[in-house]
Each structure stands twice: as structure tokens, then as C-alpha cells.
Amino acid sequence: MARRTWLAAALLMAAGVAASAQARRVISIIPATTEMLFAMGAGDRLVAVGSYDKFPSEVDRLPRVGALLDPDVERILRLKPDLVILYGTQDELRAQLDRANVPYYSYTHRGLADITQTMRALGERVGIAREANALAARVEADLGAIRARVAGSARPKTLLVFGREPGTLRNVDASGGQGFLHDMLETAGGADVLADIHQQSVTMSTELILARAPEVIIELRYGRSDAEDPRDARAWDALPSVPAVRNKRVYILHGEEFVVPGPRVAGATERLARVLHPELRW
């Protein structure tokens, strides 16, 4: 009798695992994982997304349930998800989902290699491991191809800027020696001038910019209304001794894909490589 009870319990647990492994009602509040699910062909399993999700356009028809700072727990629970993808730092949301017995997948922004690792783990969790593996392999192959293409070229000392006060060089935020932006820059054949600073972002003083003397400056624009203002790039002219300024190698690239570590990361890396290595035929 006892054996039978244990067997029944084991079968029920196995069924539970199988149910969670085949998530059908997924909520992703993270743009990167939302993009991953669509790219794996599991977009139809999403029942809601986060406030900052913009790609692909199909997300526009899905309800929004907040984001990192303001997850709408009530709406999340009302949608009866069988998997919620949340940020690793959302302890409160995790505790609430635990109490409501809703499974979740905890995500953290890290390096470039972690993106495809996340794809595989997420695919496994949602129950589409084969599609996830194929997507991850494709992204890895594309990144590998870029790496191979720039391998023979000199690596220019590059500053990758992702924010500053418009029209001035105040509060210049740049990629430090950690994180996917740094990895993308290195993969694209640039030598990060802040590689020795083990932070994802560094707010640079004017003196630090002058001291690091980058040969190329790439500014990323990805905001809601980051309109191109030709006068804005001229702010760098205040530092004419910086080689990138002197040699007119300050580039402004627009696109959300630069800040969403998802399936478009290889395309974004190639855009970096194209401006870093115009000598190569792309």
C-alpha cells in the first residue's frame, strides 16, 4: 500500500514537471527573453509582456504587466500564467509568485556568452529545447563569423558610449570591462578603452576621456525619441586631441537591439564591426 502511494505521488510529480516543462501561458516582462521566445517560435505562448517590450511588433497586441520596478502582480496572477520570466533582482515578485504557486524563470543580464545559454535554458524550461538550441547555435555561428572576419585586422581602441547629456560631454556613460556591450565590442574587433574597469557601466569625466584617448568613439542611441541632431555629435569637438575626434571616427548608431541582449545581438555586433572595420568588405 505504501509503495503504491509513493508510486502515485511520483507519477503526479512527474506529471507536474511535464506540465511546467510545457509552459503554455508565459509572461515575460524582460524585452530580451520576449524576443527570444518569439525567435524560437513560441510567441503564441505569451499572454502578457513587460512595459518596455517593443520587438517584434506582435508584442503590441499583448497586455502589459509592468517591468523591473513596477510589476503588476494582480494582473500577472489574473492571467493565470504557468511560467513568469522575471529579473533575478525581483525578490518581492518572486516571493509573491511562490505564495501563489506560480512557476517562474529568473533572468540576469550578464555577458554575451550568457545570452545563448539563457536561450537554451529558457527553451528547456518552456518545452521547446530543439528550437531553442537551433536559435542559440545560429546566433553563436553568426557571432563566430564576425569574430573570424575581423580576426586579421588591427583592433582600434574604442569607447562605447550609451548615454550622455545632449549637446554636451556631461555625464558620459560608457561600457566598462564587463557585460554584453563590452563583449559585443570585443567580438566586433574593437579594443575597449575601459576594459580594465570591471564594471558594466562607467560614468566618465572629461579627463578620463582625454587620458584614454580612444581611436574610435561609438555612441549608441535607443531611447523613445532619440532624434538625430547633427549638432549633437559636435559636442566631441571640444576634445580635439582625442584621436577619434581628430580622425573623424565618432559614430552614432541608432537601434534598440544594442541594449536588448536577445536574438538580434549578432546583427547589432555586426553593425559595430562595420564601423570599426570599414576596410573589410561587408
Among 246, 247, 280, 282, which residue interacts with another protein (rule: CB under 8 A)? 246
**Measured from the CB atom, is 23 or 209 closer to another protein?**
209
Select from 185, 262, 169 the least CA-distant residue to 218.
Answer: 185
Least distance (Å) between residue 210 CB and another protein:
5
Phi, psi of 215 (to 5 degrees): -85, -25
Length of the chain: 282
Least distance (Å) between residue 206 CB and another protein:
4
64: β partners: 49
Residues 63-102 that bind another protein (CB under 8 A): 67-70
Select from 181, 142, 193, 152 the least CA-distant residue to 277.
Answer: 152
Among 52, 64, 177, 200, which residue interacts with another protein (rule: CB under 8 A)? 52
Among 108, 153, 205, 247, which residue interacts with another protein (rule: CB under 8 A)? 205
Least distance (Å) between residue 170 CB and another protein:
6
Least distance (Å) between residue 208 CB and another protein:
6
Name the segment binding another protein (CB under 8 A); options: 6-14, 22-30, 141-149, 206-214: 206-214
Select from 48, 46, 51 the least CA-distant residue to 68.
Answer: 51
- Sign of the dihedral through C-alpha 119, 120, 121, 127: positive
92: left (phi over 0), alpha (psi -120 to 50) or beta: alpha
User: Coil, strand, or helix at residue 145?
Assistant: helix
Phi, psi of 160 (to 5 degrees): -105, 105
Rule CB under 8 A: is residue 166 a binding residue for another protein? yes
Rule CB under 8 A: is residue 227 a binding residue for another protein? yes
Residues that bind another protein (CB under 8 A): 52, 67-70, 162-163, 165-171, 173, 197, 199, 202-203, 205-208, 210-211, 213, 222-227, 229, 231-232, 235, 238-241, 246, 259
